């Protein structure tokens, strides 16, 4: 039977088990948090992003979760710079054209600031620039897609937390913790 692990990836952790970087100091990886042999990430989450990462030992399940052709929905809680107007949100809902082509339409809505754990390092705070939280659901997963989408409409991402992948959520899972699905 396939094993599926839900992991709350903290900011600063690579979505891989080893660091192939060439820097002087090693970077945090999945092996610093998940000591389960034979599982691999089903998709990726940028080093500076947080939240749900699924790990499995089943290659077919991994492909079904990660491949854009299966259109697995992923929901993100996104803190953006500024206060997006309706036109910016509508552009995201209709799909926008990035350098690598048009995106599928996203579901987007403004939300109250969610009750999340403190981020390390903290998000930069600027008294003169407001921010806003959005819930964004996409059904593809290009490299840094949500960040590129919000920047494209003039509201760079300050903090990005993936909350849901398909039927699995981060609910009740502390940063750095994992559980079997």
Identify whether residues 5 and 47 lie together within a single domain.
yes
CATH code of the domain covering residue 150: 3.30.70.1560
Report whether pLDDT(71) > 90.
Answer: no
Q: Are residues 89 and 29 in the same domain?
A: no
Domain count, the chain: 2
pLDDT of residue 127 exceeding 90, the answer is: no
Structure tokens belonging to residue 55: 């790990």
pLDDT tens by residue, 141-172 = 788 999 999 999 999 999 999 999 999 999 99
14 and 36 part of one domain: yes
pLDDT tens for each residue of 90-115 = 999 999 999 999 999 999 999 999 99
User: Could you tell me how many helices (H) and strands (E) the chain has, helices first?
Assistant: 3, 11
Residue 23 predicted with pLDDT over 80:
no
Average pLDDT over residues 69-97: 95
Full-model pTM: 0.94
Dump the DSSP string for 65-76.
HH-GGGT--EEE
Output phi, psi for 32, to 5 deg.
-75, -10
Strand partners, 40: 56
Instruction: Name the residues annotated as catalytic.
Output: 46
What pLDDT score does 114 carry? Answer: 96
pLDDT per residue over 37-51, tens digit each?
Answer: 999 999 899 999 999
């Amino acid at each position: 039977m396939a094993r599926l692990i839900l992991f709350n990836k903290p900011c600063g952790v690579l979505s891989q088990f080893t660091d192939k970087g060439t820097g002087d100091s090693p970077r945090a990886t999945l092996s610093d948090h998940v000591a389960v042999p034979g599982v691999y990430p089903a998709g990726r989450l940028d080093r500076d992003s947080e939240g749900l990462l699924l790990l499995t030992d089943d290659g077919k399940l991994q492909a079904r979760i990660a491949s854009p052709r299966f259109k697995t929905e992923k929901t993100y809680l996104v803190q953006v710079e500024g206060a997006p107007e309706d036109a910016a949100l509508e552009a995201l809902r209709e799909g926008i054209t990035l350098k690598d082509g048009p995106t599928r339409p996203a579901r987007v809505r403004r939300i109250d600031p969610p009750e999340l754990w403190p981020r390390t390092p903290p998000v930069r705070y600027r008294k003169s620039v407001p921010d806003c939280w959005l819930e964004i659901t996409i059904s593809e997963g290009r490299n840094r897609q949500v960040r590129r989408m919000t920047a494209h409409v003039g509201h760079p991402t300050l903090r990005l937390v993936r909350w849901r992948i398909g039927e699995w959520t981060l609910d009740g899972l502390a940063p750095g913790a994992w559980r079997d699905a």
